[in-house]
Amino acid sequence: MKFAVKAWSNGRARAGLLQLGSCELETPALLLTTRKGLPVFISPDLLPSLPSPDSRLLQFSPLHFLDAISPKTMSEVGGLHQMLGLKDHIFVAVPRDSILSLPDYGSTNKMGASFETPCGRRMIKPAEYMQMVSSMKPNMWVTLADEVPAWVSEKRNKTSVDRTVRWLNDCITSNLATTSGGVVFGSIVGGSRVEERQRCAQEVARQNVSGYYIGGFGLGESMEERTSLLNAVTDILPEEKPRQISGLGLPEEVLQGVAAGVDLFDSAYIYHLTLGGFALVFHSEETRRPGSGDQLRDTSIDDTKINLKATVYRKDSSPIVEGCNCYTCQNHTKAYINHLFNVHEMLAQILLEIHNTHHYLGFFRSIRKAIKEGRFEQFREKFIRSRRDHIFDAAAVSA
């Protein structure tokens, strides 16, 4: 793996180039959340319809396979790339997953991390985790971490840092680490304590890892306190290595992470939107804002998405977003997708996830462009101000 920072904007925000094998990706970048290696509603034959190479980063949790294929069989097949037939994609293994594998801090102990998985509550020890990683052969993998929510005690928080550092050593010194074939990202935790975040970052920065995974976010901390926690970590980490984060999915949260110097984002945001029937429509520099009026009535106080299950779209013959060049907007209308939802056809989620993924990747391209042009902070402020103005306008209309 090779990584280089190509541009800075407003202090910490940065744009870079990540090279893994023959694949080059610009950062900040989005890792597509998957279930067992594939986006939930997009089959392998439809993946080429997504923007490339931006859509080649696929994040998965090895814990998804606890109820499926065994590590021995996976190894015999040749790993996840071979099993799924996606040899040109980049697989990133992360224990935590915001859909099916949630950290269970109450059951975690010194032996291993506990997760709520499709198989129920499971404790995963470092040796077991490394066996799964080694058999799946991801391009990148994150070390096991004890991620805790913001409200735990200071003692529990300190313990989580100690365990995470110890498990990192267990993972990278394991004989299986060399057979995994992927680059290692060291996990950094610390909850809502700046001092513990800094201590963990300092310990992990000394280790022989290729990048850093900033964990423990999206677990109860406020937007206000998150900035200081992020800056406390990124100020310590070396600039020449990439940083990945989990738990920041909303557009405002992504912008907050980019402002702190984070390069890679994994997010279940697209999945949850698609499952609820929502389509992303917020303005980016690559698409035109949809027209006003009835088209946005169902969104209430949110101008970033529309609910395609709403009856207002039953006879709407326009695409989801004018000017969007995704497969869905180029070939189908809001009325058709509304019909698919009404008759409970899975094609509704397929078309919607294609659009939402395409649209959100465009948002990341706009972020990279703003950084390269040295105007990221203006881009961020304009986006947030637009959201705030829309909320005030909607509140005034409803009053």
Annotated binding-site members for Zn(2+): 324, 326, 329, 355
Tell me how far apart the alpha carbons of residues 30 and 366 are, in angstroms, rounded to a whole number.
13
CB 54 within 8 A of CB 23: no
Q: Which two tokens stand for residue 356?
A: 């939402």
Helices (H), the chain: 71-77, 80-84, 126-136, 154-172, 194-205, 223-234, 251-259, 269-276, 327-331, 334-342, 347-372, 376-398
- CA distance to 109, 136, 187, 214, 266, per residue, from 145 (Å): 11, 19, 6, 10, 16
Task: Provide the annotated binding site.
Answer: 324, 326, 329, 355
* Alpha-carbon dihedral sign for residues 95, 96, 100, 103: positive
Torsion angle in degrees (nearest 10) through CA of 190, 192, 193, 194: 90
- Tell me the one-letter amino acid at 54: D
**15: β partners:** 7
What is the distance between the alpha carbons of residues 9 and 242, in angstroms, rounded to a whole number? 17
Report residue 3 as tokens. 């990584």
